[in-house]
Chains A and B, each alone.
Chain A
Amino acid sequence: MQNQMELTFSALPQNEAFARVAIAAFAVQLNPTLPEMADIKTAVSEAVTNAIVHGYRGREDGLVRMSAEYGDRRLLTVVIRDEGCGIADVEKAMQPFYSTGDGAERSGMGFCVMQTFMDAVEVDSAVDRGTTVTMRKYITGEVGLHRERMLDEIG
């Protein structure tokens, strides 16, 4: 079975919590463990916050798009997209502690968190066009289901 969803919301800080609740409600269908659920919510929060803070730089008429899907292999894919300013050098932006935000209050750890909490993170960006962050995570859920995935993987 394939399941997917898509949401579009205003680039407002109060929608960061909305995005977390929405992805949690979708991902819960995969019966993730509590730590897995926390990882997904945190990674989504990072990507959505970046879209609002950096992509649109506080421009509240911007729209953030979030879509997610999973299939039988229990691989959850979440895509967060903005049509904001884009990133000139993605590799540099993804380095730990790199931040263009005001130094005092941004740690430059957002991408690091996404990469640690998810199994794969891809960033596609073009200056003045926007940024797309694609994140994937295997949801092991209970131990038995983990074994099922391993067997599936072996073929």
Chain B
Amino acid sequence: MLGAKSLGNAVTVVIAGELDHFAAPQIRRRLDELLEDQTVTHLVLDLENLTFMDSSGIGMLLGRLRALQSRGGSLSVKHMQPPVEKLFRLSGLDRVIGVEDDIRGGRL
């Protein structure tokens, strides 16, 4: 479900499938494991294959954002699908989490 690739102090993680209250703890654990390495300051989440997310995902992402900000780092996402992008906009996540590129796959 998750794959990580690091480049300097930036790590890219693929989050695929569905991010709800059931899936959040496992994804959170995996991300926190990566963040145990204090040299990691920039986390990029590749959401191309994330087909579903609800407010449980918002809470989980905000938690990781705080951890990164407290070490002067940042969190960003890329390849968001339209339904996930809609949730990001509604919750204002798009204003605190960097969105690296445009949505793919057309209209909302």
Report A's interface with B, CB cutoff 8 A.
13-14, 16-17, 20, 34-35, 38, 41-42, 45-46, 49, 52-53, 101, 104-107, 109-110, 112-113, 116
Contacts and interface: CB of A to CB of B under 8 A. Distances in A.
B91 A107 contact: yes
B22 A16 contact: yes
B104 to A, nearest CB: 14
Contacts of B52: 20, 38, 41-42, 45
A14 B83 contact: no
The prevalent SS among residues of A at the interface is: helix
A136 to B, nearest CB: 19
Interface residues of B, number: 24
Interface string B62-104: 1100100000000000000011001100110000000000000
A52 B56 CA distance: 12
Given A42-B87, A107-B91, A16 B55 contact: no
Contacts of A109: 55, 58, 90-91
A142 B52 CA distance: 23
The 7 lowest CB-CB distance pairs between A and B, nearest first, are A13-B22, A38-B83, A107-B58, A109-B55, A107-B59, A45-B54, A105-B59
A52 B20 CA distance: 12
Contacts of A110: 54-55
Given A49-B56, A107-B58, A113-B91, 16 more contacts: A13-B22, A16-B22, A17-B20, A35-B107, A38-B52, A42-B83, A42-B87, A45-B20, A45-B52, A49-B54, A105-B59, A106-B55, A106-B59, A107-B91, A109-B58, A116-B90
B48 interface: no
Contacts of A116: 90
B1 to A, nearest CB: 14
Nearest to B81: A38
B83 A46 contact: no
A17 B18 CA distance: 9
Nearest to A20: B52
Contacts of B63: 104-105
Contact of B54 (A14, A42, A101, A105): A42
Interface string B1-26: 00000000000000000101110100
B35 to A, nearest CB: 14
8 contacts: A16-B21, A35-B107, A42-B52, A106-B55, A106-B59, A107-B55, A109-B55, A112-B91
